[in-house]
Amino acid sequence: MLARVREDKDRGLTRKKFCLAASVLLAVAAVITIVVVLTQQSGDGDGNATTSVDSLTLPRMAVANLTLVGGFTVDSAKEQCLTLGWIPTGVNWETSSSIRASYLCMQQSLPVGEDEVEAVDLDGTSVLRRLAVLPDAESCPSNMTQLANPRANVLVCVDFISASEAFSTQQYAMDLMTTSEAFYSHDTPGWVTWPVDLKLDDTDETSVFLSVRYPVRPITALQVLSDVASDTVYAACEDLEPIGAWESPEFVLRSESESVTTTNDIVCIRRLQAGDVSTSVLLDTTVILPSETCPVLAGNATSTEITSDRIKVCAEWGVIPSNNSSNPSNAPFVVELAQYHTIEAITDTNASTAIPGNWSLIGDTPTGDIHKYFLVRKSMISNSSGDETGVGEIEDGTVTSTVEATRNQTALSFRVLQIADLHLTGDPDYPCSSGPTGAIRASILEAASVIARELKQANGSSNSTSASDPLYNRCREALTIAFLDELLDVEQPDFVVFSGDNVHTSDATNHSLAIGTFTDRVESRGIPWAAVFGNHDTEGGFDREEMLELMTSNRQFAHVKYGPRGIDGVGNYEVEVVAPVAGAWGSEGSTVFRMYFLDSHANIDAQRFPLVADPSSYDWVKETQIDFYRELARSHAAEASETSNATNSSIPAVMFFHIPLAEYALASSSDRIGEKHEATASAEVNCGLFSALVELGDVKATFVGHDHVNEYCYLRQGVQLCYGGGIGLGRAYGLRNFDRRARVIEWSLDSEQKHTIRSWKRHFQDPTQIQSLEVLYSE
């Protein structure tokens, strides 16, 4: 446990479980009808990872298996997933009082290259077609099987089909995650969050929801079925011809006041199939009463009317290419359709206050006292991998900069020093909140004394030239700067990344001094550098844009960029490491390694996100930023495919941001390498960035800060999730028996054209010694 309540981790308010009219949240405890494996294991600990996850490869990223397991501790529950060779997903379900922790385990395939597809047995491999969370249900639909019964009359139902059929019909789940935040988690087309609380223990104010990711797929046909019984709504559409091509809506939910015996008018959908060359897709739709008239469409738009006894569907159709490239008209099209029945009318045109996921209301067809709402979500670009983009044209120079790799005869290398959580205040005498145990090295005390005197003279706070220093033996901020100097001189890196919470000040004057302090250390040595913002950097007088100007003005070696103006955050950009000379790796100037940088923001803007369950929690990486990364990664892949050089066809990349993703918390003691001394303080909202990283495949490791006394790496689905370990000794919190430290990342390309990413750490007590050398990636 940390010795004090930390300023940047104090959540203050307890979470409030939100009330959702759409779901039936029963307070009655249920009998759990899942198979749970109980184990007793020790809790968190250090040491090397010894349990590996079985790798399943398919042409697409897909969910291949699911099960719910439990243990007496959170760590032991996660270990059950590893025993299966699978991975834990999301948050702890806490499914009963006799089981302290439960996790949903997932087996997920990793995409294989085109040359490996023929070796995969698609007919003999099953994948998840769809998942449904059904409130007030006695059994799963006839075409689905029960995965879990976490609450009374709440069922989690699944449907598996062969991979060959799934990929042909584009009906499969790509990813799955449990989350404690329903309204904004995975709030993008492709992801569907079921608004039904799965957590059993009502005394706990948190909730558990399931989010499933499907490919973003256009709709090519609609059909209405009338008088569908409630217990068959997820099966009725499958009887339509051609068999297997039709789907029910994403969900059909009722308020708790509606009778479960109510019959339904269901709009069945058929999606763009693999092999379709060009066809009309659903651009827009509305649902009205049969007696009403469909709106007149402008121009040459094509429309159809589908009428039943109780509803009329008005559909607008258009043509987009199916080559997964783009939508030339830039017109959005419908990718998801859902239904919601309630006795209370929704007056807002956006139904997000009732249903999570940014659904748009397209129709209200009242039947007696029941309002039957139809909801849609749209996308700009479709492809079979399930992605969309909307960043637009990126101007040259606003996003990308280059730096040369180091040549060593027939090999190349590039060494990066990550500096996490400096928390500089601008006052070199700022006392340590938690200094190191034991005596501090004389050499660094002397260096810190000189630094403190020089900085105070430079900023005018002291005119004394005396060598006398009453704080000589005290732990203070100047030690942080002296440690930074040591790291730079000992390691002599090719590049430095300041990974957030670089400054932490109380006024504009000190803010400027603190920024100058850390940027001057690298500039004076001629070392190229970059930075991302943390949650504390803007405290003290400047916003992110002003800080960016201060950090880069008159700085010769800065590679920090604002990034595209049309997306969330400041500091979304990339740095490409290029070959200094021509060689087996390609021509001079060709990219051999890549670094992405994203702004993970700070605290939540409650006005922008009023439905967030815990406004005091951390903000999250937004979909516009993930789209930005997707666009960059795809453009790089397209460029590489056009070259004949095999080395450049798969250029590895790493990514830096400050606040860890929720997936960092899923590491257990047996599958992480390094130390963990505090809980992962991520955003409650799961933004879906990790899912995009796994799918696109170029990022081999991510590096964060934020949690100062965590410094481990966790390999998950081919991506290393790594902490930097904080170096700050002034305002930054820490542990007295946990040495401040910094992480080094080294990429290399040897004479056999093998890419390797290694990492090690250097500690405060003796930075001359390499600690914890490990290979993060090799191929």
DSSP 3-state assignment of 372? strand
DSSP 3-state assignment of 636? helix
**Polymer length in residues for the chain:** 779
Cα distance between residue 358 and residue 378, in whole Å:
10
Per-residue pLDDT tens digits for 501-514: 999 998 888 999 99
Per-residue pLDDT tens digits for 197-209: 888 666 667 788 9
Beta-carbon contacts of residue 741 (< 8 Å; ≥ 6 apart): 711, 725, 726, 727, 761, 762, 763, 764, 771
pLDDT for 665: 96
Question: CA 555, 560, 566, 567 torsion: positive or negative?
Answer: negative
Return the CA Rg of the chain: 28
Cα distance between residue 715 and residue 587, in whole Å:
33
Mean pLDDT of 620-648: 84
Per the model's pLDDT, the better-predicted residue between 94 and 733 turns out to be: 733
Token digits for 510? 């000190």
Per the model's pLDDT, the better-predicted residue between 191 and 486 turns out to be: 486
Cα distance between residue 620 and residue 438, in whole Å:
39
For residue 235, pLDDT over 80 is answered with yes
Token digits for 764? 């405060």
Q: Contact at 8 Å (CB) between 599 and 537?
A: no
Mean pLDDT of 290-308: 82
pLDDT for 330: 53
Mean pLDDT of 598-605: 95
Share of the chain above pLDDT 90, in %: 51
pLDDT, the chain, mean = 83
Q: Which residues of 267-303 are buried (b: 16+ CB within 10 A; e: fewer)?
A: bbbbbbbeeeeeebbbbbbbbbeeeeebeeeeeeeee
Please report how many Cα atoms fall inside a 13 Å half-sphere around the Cα of residue 173, on the Cβ side. 29
For residue 35, pLDDT over 60 is answered with no
pLDDT for 465: 54
What kind of architecture, by CATH, is found in domain 215-388? Aligned Prism (2.100)
For residue 476, pLDDT over 80 is answered with yes
Per the model's pLDDT, the better-predicted residue between 396 and 535 turns out to be: 535
Supply the CATH classification number for the domain 400-778. Answer: 3.60.21.10
Share of the chain above pLDDT 70, in %: 82
Token digits for 576? 């490409």
For residue 145, pLDDT over 90 is answered with yes
Q: Contact at 8 Å (CB) between 58 and 166?
A: no
Per-residue pLDDT tens digits for 251-265: 887 765 455 455 678
Mean pLDDT of 531-540: 94
Cα distance between residue 741 and residue 514, in whole Å:
20
For residue 227, pLDDT over 80 is answered with yes
For residue 37, pLDDT over 50 is answered with no
pLDDT for 733: 95
**Most confident of the following: 180-189, 384-393, 745-754:** 745-754
Q: What is the DSSP string of 657-687?
A: -SSPPGGGGG--TTSEES-B-S-----SS--
Per the model's pLDDT, the better-predicted residue between 48 and 247 turns out to be: 247
pLDDT for 33: 32
For residue 8, pLDDT over 90 is answered with no
Cα distance between residue 283 and residue 333, in whole Å:
4
For residue 300, pLDDT over 70 is answered with no
Token digits for 429? 């005498």
Mean pLDDT is lowest, of 332-341, 590-599, 744-753, for 332-341
Mean pLDDT of 545-558: 94
Per the model's pLDDT, the better-predicted residue between 51 and 619 turns out to be: 619
Cα distance between residue 159 and residue 140, in whole Å:
10
Cα distance between residue 654 and residue 129, in whole Å:
32
Burial class (CB in 10 A: 0-12, 13-18, 19+), 364: middle
Nearest to 179 by CA among 356, 329, 9, 32: 356
pLDDT for 751: 86
Q: Which pLDDT band, with edges at 50, 70 and 90, does 20 fall under?
A: very low
Cα distance between residue 174 and residue 63, in whole Å:
6
Mean pLDDT is lowest, of 122-136, 302-316, 389-403, for 389-403
Cα distance between residue 248 and residue 147, in whole Å:
19
pLDDT for 508: 87
Mean pLDDT of 445-452: 95
Mean pLDDT is lowest, of 60-74, 466-480, 642-656, 713-727, for 642-656
Mean pLDDT is lowest, of 190-194, 235-239, 345-349, 763-767, for 345-349
For residue 1, pLDDT over 50 is answered with no
pLDDT for 467: 64
**Residue 381, amino acid:** I
Q: What is the DSSP string of 35-100?
A: ---------S--S-----PPPEEESS--EEEEEEEEESSHHHHHHHHHHHT-EEESS----BTTBS
Q: Summarize the chain as % helix, strand, coil (round to 5).
A: 15, 30, 50
Strand bridging mode 755-763 / 653-656:
unpaired
pLDDT for 691: 95
Q: Contact at 8 Å (CB) between 675 and 710?
A: yes
Q: How far is CA 459 from CA 78, 401, 427, 463, 607, in A?
A: 52, 33, 10, 10, 39
Helix-helix angle 508-523:544-552, to 10 degrees: 40
DSSP 3-state assignment of 364? strand
pLDDT for 115: 62
Please give the order of strands across the beta sheet that includes 370-379.
252-254, 333-342, 370-379, 360-367
Cα distance between residue 141 and residue 133, in whole Å:
11
Question: CA 43, 44, 49, 55 torsion: positive or negative?
Answer: positive
Q: Contact at 8 Å (CB) between 651 and 777?
A: no
Q: Which pLDDT band, with edges at 50, 70 and 90, does 395 fall under?
A: low
- The CA dihedral of 657, 663, 668, 672, to the nearest 10 degrees, is -40
Mean pLDDT of 729-752: 94
pLDDT for 189: 82
Cα distance between residue 736 and residue 2, in whole Å:
9
For residue 343, pLDDT over 80 is answered with no
Cα distance between residue 69 and residue 34, in whole Å:
8
Per-residue pLDDT tens digits for 60-92: 999 999 999 988 889 999 999 999 999 999 988
Nearest to 619 by CA among 638, 602, 594: 602
Domain residue spans of the chain: 13-213, 215-388, 400-778
For residue 9, pLDDT over 60 is answered with no
